[in-house]
Structure 1
Amino acid sequence: MDPIDEMGSKLAQDPNPQSLTVRRVWVPGPVIVGAGPSGLAVAACLKEKGIPSLILERADCLGSLWKYRTYNRLRLHLPKQFCQLPNLPFPKNFPTYPTKEQFLTYLESYAKHFNLRPVFERAVKRAHYDARHGLWRVLASGPKKEVVEYVCQWLVVATGENAEAYVPHFEGREEFKGKMIHTSEYKSGDEFSGKKVLVVGCGNSGMEICLDLCNHNAYPSLVVRESVHILPQQMLGSSTFGLSMCLLKWFPLKIVDQVLLLITRVMLGDTAQLGIPRPRIGPLEYKSISGKTPVLDVGTLARIKAGDIKVFPGVKRLTHQGTEFVDERMENFDAIILATGFKSNVPCWLKDTFMFSEKDGYPVKPFPNGWKGKDGLYAVGFTKRGLLGASHDAIRIAEDINQDWKSKATQLMQQRSITQLKSFIEVLN
C-alpha cells in the first residue's frame, strides 16, 4: 500500500495513531488549502492587515487548474475588471478578455506583489478540529513521502468548486472503442482533425470546445441534455455581464432578464429551433436559483446554424462505435469529450464539520452566507459566482480573522515564548 494511503487508513481508524511518524509545525496565522485565485486572494487580504498565513498546494504551481486542466484557446469569459483579485488590477495592456497565459502571468505577479510563497506539492489528506485544544490539525503529504501536520487556529478552504473532474457513468461505457476524455485533458482540436467527435455538455467549455474542433477541421456534435440560456458575450457595445450589473442598479431582476432575452432573441434568434431550449425563467433568476451560469456565445451558435455542429439530446447509452441518444437516434463517433464539469473534493479530507455538504462538497449555507463556519473555519471560491464572488468572500474572511487575530492570536504570541510554543505542540502528541 502507498504510504499516503496507509496514512489515511490509519487515520480513519485512529486520529492519533502512535505508529505514524509525523512532523508537526505550528502556524501562527491561518492555513489556506489551495493556491488558486481564491487562496491567493485571501492570503493577500490577510497580508494587507499584517497577518501571516501558510498556503498549502497539492500541485507544483499557482493556479494548477488553469495551467494543467484547461484548453489552449481559453480566455476569461467575463471582462477583466470583473475577474481581478483584491488590491491589484490586471495590467492596462491586457485585453478585455485575457488569455489563459495572461491570467497565469497575472497570478504569478499577484503572488510576487504580496510576497506570497505557497508550499507546493503538499496534498492535504485530512483536516479536523481538535476541540480539546481549540486548534485545527491539518495533515499533508509531501513529495518525498513526508507527512506533516500543521497546527493552527484558523483554516481556510480554498480548493474551490473545480477540484476534481466529474465523469458521469454511461451505460455501455466499456463497449465504446473510441477515445474518451474529460475536458480537463483536452488542449486543442489538432489531434481530432478529420474525426467525428461528440461533446457531452453544453456549458461554456463544451460550446467553446465545439468551436475549437470546427476550427481544426473536425466534425463535432453537441449533447444538450437540459435547457440552457445562451447569451451574446457583448450587447449594445459592452459586455453582457457588465450591462446586466448596470441595469440591476436601476431595475428589478426580472425586468433585467426580460431586457436581456429581448436583445438576445434579436441577436441570436430562437435557440430552441436549434435543439437548445431555454429555461422558463430568465438567465439571472435561473442563475440565482440553480447556480448555473448562462453560456456566453463566442461564435459557436453560428457554426451550429451553418450545420458544422450537430445537436443531440441526452445520451441513452454508448455503443461499440458511438452513441444511442434518448430520442432513439444512433450515431458513430471516433471520440467523446466529456464537458461535464468539475466537483468539490472537500468531504474527502475535511472531517467532523457541518459546514460542507457531504453530497456535493459545497457550504451548506447558501450564498452569501457560506463563507464562514465555526471554530475558525472559512470557505472561499464556493459561491458559483466566479472570481468576483471569490474576491468578495476573501475580503470578508480577512476582516473576520483580523478581528479574532487582535483579540486571540496576538495575545497568544505575546504570552508564549518559543519554548512554550514547542511544549504546547508536544502536548498534542
Structure 2
Amino acid sequence: MASALLNGHAAATLPNGTAATLTSGKDDPPHGNAVDAPIAPSLELPKIATSLLPPAPLSEEECTAIAQDWLDRLSAILQSGNAPSADELKGVLAHSSAPWWKDHLALTWALRSAHGLPAIAKLLEPVIPVRKPAAPSLSKAAYVPMSSTLQFVRAQFAFETPQAECQGIACLIPEEGEEGEVVWRAWIVFTQMAELKGHLADLERLKVPDEGGNEQEEVDVLIIGAGQAGLQLAAALRTMSFRTLIVDRVPQVGDHWKRVYTSFKLHLSKYYCQLAYHPWPESTPFFPKIKDIAGFLDEYSRDLHLNVLLQSEVKGAEFDKAKSAWEVTISVGGKEKTVKAEHLVFATGLSGYTAMMPTVPGKENFKGEVMHSLDYRAGEKYKGKHAIVVGTACSGHDIAADLYANGAASVTMIQRKATMVFAEKGFRAATGAMYHENGPPLEYADRLGEVMPNQLTKLLMAQHPPTDEYVAIEAGLEKRGFRLLERDLGHIIFERGGGHYLDVGCSQLIVDGKIGVKSGVPLKSFTETALVFEDGTELPADVVVFATGYSHLSLREGVQKLLGAEATRGLSDVWGLDKEGHAKGVYRDSGVPNLWLAAGPFPFTRYNSKLLAMQIVASHFGLLQDRFDV
C-alpha cells in the first residue's frame, strides 16, 4: 500500500499515528515459520506472450468463467485438509513469473508475504491444516489490462475460517498448458480477514455514548494520542464493543495539526484521505487545509462518541503479568489518577516533533532568523526579505512556494540529496478511479489497493510513465540544477521515510526561475548576513528555514522512555520494510505483550485500524496462540 502513504507528506513529517500489533501476554509465542528462502526470486512483472493474450478485452461472463475455474482448482487443494505441496500449488499458481501470496490475518493472524512457489508452499504448509479455510465463493471478476504485456483477470472471492469471515483477490494471468491450451493461474493472491466471528463490527454502536465516558478507571484499551491513528482505532474497537479511552495533552482534538505552517494542505484528495466510518463535511475543499483537518478530527471524536481525556498526560505505565493488564498513571489537571487497561496503544506519531536540524558553524553570528520548518508559520513577515529553504521534500517545497507567494525578495531552495518528484495529476487520476464522491465503500477500495506487494511499486509505476507535459517539467527542473531521483514509492516511504514531493505547483515556479535552486553543495557556515557553502559561494539571507525532517526513531524511543528498558525488552524496530515487504513494527507483533503502536497518514491508518482492532480483540479472547509470524 505504498501509494496510500504518499499522502502529500511522508508519514514522518506529520503528527500522524502508526500501528504495531502484539500478541496478548496470555497467548503462546507465535509460530516461527518465517520463509527462509529469498522472498524475491526475481523482482519482475509478468510478460505475457501475445499469443496467450485475448484478442479483445474479456467480457464479464468470460472473466467469471475463468475465475470460477481457478477457484474450483484452489478449493480442491484447500478442502483436502492437508498441507498443500508445491506440486499441488502448481495447478493454481503462475509458472512463467514467480507468484506472490500476501496475507493479512486471514490465514496467518499476521501480515505476511511469500514470493515464489517454494516460499508460498512453506508459508501455507503449516497454516492450511490449522486454519481450515472453507471453500471460497466467487464475488466478482473483471478484466484488468495494465499494459500491452501485463493483463489479468481479477477474481474477488469470499471464504471463511472457524474464526473469521475473509476476503480474497487473485490476479490471474494466461499461461500455456501442457498440451498447448491456455491455463489461467494466479500471479498474485491476497487474502484478508474482514470480520472476526462473534465480534462483527456494528456501526450502530458508534451512535451511542459509553457509560462512564472519559472518566472510566478501567477499560479494555487505553490509547495515547488523539490523532487520526488513535481516533480511528478507537472507533474500530467501539464497533466491536471494546471500551476505549484516548489520552492526549492537547486542549482540543485536532490541535496537533495547528502546529504546522498555515499554508499546509493535503496533497491528495479528501476522498482518498477519508477516515473510517465518517466522511468529510461536504464543505471541505478537495485538498483539505489545516483548519479543515483539525476541525474534522474534533468532529469525528464527538460524532462517534469517542472517549477522549484531553489536557492530560500519561506519566508512566506498568504491566501486571499476573493480571495481563497495564496500570497507567495519568496526570489530569495537576492530579494523578490510575487507569487499568488490558491493552496499551501508542498512537503518538511516527516521529512526533523530534526535529532533525544540522549544525552549521556561525549560526550565533547570523543576524537573521533561523528555524526548523516545525516553527515556520507563514511568509507574510518576510515580504521583501531574502529567504533560503534547506530541504526539498514536501515541506520544503510548500514553504518555498509560500515565501514566494508572500513577496519574498528571493527564495532559494538548498537541495542536499536528489529528490523524488511525482505529478499530482497522475496520482489524482490513479486514486480518483476508486476514491471519489460517488465511489465504492472504502473497505472495498482499500482492499483493492492492498493487493500489490510493496516490492513491486517501482516496477508498477514504470507501467504509467509521466505525461509529455510533466516530462517537460522534469526537464526544466534538471535544467535549473534540481536533481531528480528515480520514482520508487516503496523505498521513499518505508526506507527513506520522506524525501519526495507530490507536485502541486512549486516545480513550475522552479522551472520558471521564480524560486532558485542550489544543489549538491554542502553548507559550510553562516556569516552575519549570508549562508556560505563548501564551494566558496554564499547566498544572502534574512531568514533560513531548515525543512530537514524529523527523527524516525522517536516513536520507538518515546515508548522506551515512558515504559522503561525492562518493560520494552524485545520491542521491535519501527518503520522500514522487513524481508517480506511489510512495514516493521506497525500493525503487527511489537515484541512486547499487550503493547501496540499506531501511526501513519490517513489512508494507511484507515485501512490498518480495523486489522489492529481485530488483533486486539482476538488477543483478549486467546485466539492468537496459533499466529504464524515472521
1:320/1:147 CA distance change after superposition, 3 Å: farther
Q: CA deviation at 1:56?
A: 0.6
Q: Deviation per CA, 1:94-121, whole angstroms, max 9, x where unpaired?
A: 3321222122222122112210131111
Work out whether residues 31 and 53 of structure 1, in 8 Å CA contact, stay in contact via their aligned partners in 2: yes
Which region of structure 1 is more displaced relative to structure 2, 326-335 or 26-35?
326-335
Distance 2:358 2:494 in 1: 28
Residue 304, structure 1, aligned to residue 507, structure 2: no
The Cα offsets for residues 400-426 of structure 1, whole Å up to 9 and x where unpaired, read as 122234469xxxxxxxxxxxxxxxxxx
Given that 1:25 and 1:148 are in contact with CA atoms closer than 8 Å, whether structure 2 keeps it comes out as no
Query: C-alpha distance in 2, partners of 1:52/1:299?
Result: 45
- One of 264, 287, 295 as aligned partner of 1:97: 287
CA distance in 1, matches of 2:576, 2:223: 16
- Taking every aligned residue pair, what percent have the same amino acid on both sides? 24
Residues 356 and 191 (structure 1 numbering): CA distance in 2 closer, same or farther, change over 3 Å? Answer: farther
* 1:256 partner amino acid: L
Q: 1:391: how far off?
A: 1.7
In structure 2, the partner of 1:400 is 615
1:155 pairs with 337, 344, 357, which one? 344
Distance in 1 of aligned mates of 2:620 and 2:234: 14
Deviation at 1:196, TM superposition (A): 0.8
Report if the CA contact (8 A) 2:316-2:563 is conserved: yes
Query: Where does residue 370 of structure 1 map in the other structure?
Result: 586
Letter in 1 for 2:373: T
Please tell me whether the aligned partners of residues 370 and 543 of structure 2 are also in contact (alpha carbons under 8 angstroms): yes
Instruction: Tell whether 2:317 aligns with 1:127.
Output: yes
Question: How far has the Cα of 1:334 moved from its partner?
Answer: 0.7
Do 1:356 and 1:362's aligned partners in 2 also have CA atoms closer than 8 Å? no
Q: Is the Cα–Cα contact under 8 Å of residues 75 and 100 in structure 1 kept in the other structure?
A: yes
1:193 aligns with 2:412: no
Among 521, 530, 534, the residue aligned to 1:322: 530
Structure 2 residue identity aligned to 1:226: K
Answer whether contact 1:135 1:152 (CA < 8 A) is retained: yes
1:179 Cα deviation (Å)? 1.1
AA partner of residue 596 (structure 2): Y
Counterpart Cα distance in 2 of 1:309 and 1:267:
17
Unaligned segments of structure 1, at least 5 residues: 1-23, 409-429
What residue number does 1:269 align with? 474
For residues 210-229 of structure 1, the aligned pairs below 5 Å read 210-218=400-408, 219-229=410-420
Do the aligned residues in 1 keep the contact of 2:495 with 2:575 (CA within 8 Å)?
Answer: no
- Name the CA distance, whole Å, in 2 between partners of 1:154 and 1:128: 11
**Letter paired with 1:367:** A
Deviation, structure 1 residue 241:
5.2
Give aligned pairs, total.
Answer: 376
Q: Kindly tell me: are residues 391 and 115 of structure 1, through their superposed partners in 2, closer, same or farther at Cα, counting changes over 3 Å? A: same
Separation in 1, partners of 2:230, 2:236: 10
Mapped to 1, the partners of 2:324 and 2:260 lie a distance apart of: 40
1:34 aligns with 2:225: yes
Residue number in structure 2 paired with 1:421: none
Question: 2:524, 2:373 → 1: CA distance?
Answer: 21
Distance 2:487 2:452 in 1: 20
Pair 1:258-2:462 in alignment: yes
Which residue identity does 1:399 align to in structure 2?
M
Following superposition, the deviation at residue 316 of structure 1 comes to 2.7
Question: What does residue range 66-215 of structure 1 map to in structure 2 within 5 Å?
Answer: 66-67=257-258, 69-144=259-334, 146-172=335-361, 173-215=363-405
1:50 is aligned, of 233, 241, 262, to 241
Higher relative contact order, structure no. (Cα contacts within 8 Å, ≥ 6 residues apart): 2
Measured after TM superposition, the shift of residue 319 of structure 1 is 2.8
Please tell me the residue identity of whatever aligns with 2:407.
N
Kindly report the root-mean-square deviation, in angstroms, between the aligned alpha carbons of the 2 structures: 3.1
Q: Which SS does the other structure have where 1:328 is aligned?
A: coil
Q: 2-side partners of 1:174 and 1:123: how far apart?
A: 35
> 398-407 vs 43-52, which deviates more?
398-407
Offset from partner CA, 1:347-378 (integer Å, 9 cap, x none): 43243313254xxx659965166223231111
Task: Judge conservation of contact 1:30–1:156 (CA < 8 Å) in 2.
Answer: yes
Q: Say which SS state the counterpart of residue 309 (structure 2) adopts.
A: coil
1:348: which partner in 2?
A: 561
Deviations 1:3-48 (A, max 9, x none): xxxxxxxxxxxxxxxxxxxxx9842211100011111011111111
Question: TM-score with structure 1 length normalisation?
Answer: 0.78
Structure 2 distance, partners of 1:133, 1:51, is: 18
1:381 and 2:599 are equivalent in the alignment:
yes
Once the two structures are superposed, what CA deviation does each residue of 1:139-165 show, in whole Å capped at 9, x if it has no partner? 333332x23333321001100124114
Q: Which amino acid aligns with 1:227?
A: A
Q: Which residue of 2 aligns with 1:14?
A: none
Q: 1:370 to 1:364 in 2, by over 3 A?
A: farther
- In 2 relative to 1, CA 310–243 (structure 1 residues): closer, same or farther, beyond 3 Å? farther
Output the CA distance in 2 between the equivalents of 1:364 and 1:231. 22
| C-alpha separation in 2, matches of 1:350 and 1:199 | 37
Matched, 1:230 2:446: no
- Larger Rg belongs to: 2
SS of equivalent residue, structure 1 residue 235: helix
User: TM-score, normalised to structure 2's length?
Assistant: 0.55
Tell me if the contact between 2:421 and 2:485 (Cα under 8 Å) persists in the aligned partners: no
Paired position in structure 2 for 1:335: 543
Partner of 1:18: none
CA distance in 1, matches of 2:583, 2:597: 11
Would the aligned equivalents of 1:202 and 1:223 in 2 still touch at CA under 8 Å?
Answer: yes
Q: Distance in 1 between matches of 2:235 and 2:460?
A: 35
Gaps of 5+ in 2: 1-214, 435-445, 624-630
For 2:572 and 2:452, the matched residues in 1 are separated by 35
User: What SS is found at the alignment partner of 1:269?
Assistant: helix
Instruction: Pick which of 276-285 and 327-336 moved more.
Output: 276-285
- Residue 424 of structure 1 corresponds to none
Q: Tell me whether 279-288 or 89-98 shows the greater mean CA deviation.
A: 279-288
Question: 1: distance between equivalents of 2:332 and 2:524?
Answer: 43
> How far is 1:66 from its partner?
0.7
Verify the 8 A CA contact 2:383 2:407 in the aligned structure 1.
yes
SS at 1:164 equivalent: coil
- Contact kept, 8 Å, 2:368 with 2:543, in 1: the verdict is yes
Distance 1:28 1:118 in 2: 13
Query: Distance between the aligned counterparts of 1:80 and 1:210, measured in 2?
Result: 24
Question: CA, structure 1 residues 375+285, in 2 after alignment: closer, same or farther (shift >3 Å)?
Answer: closer
Equivalent residues in 2 for 1:12-31, closer than 5 Å: 26-31=217-222
Q: State how far apart, in whole Å, the 2-side matches of 1:340 and 1:142 are.
A: 34
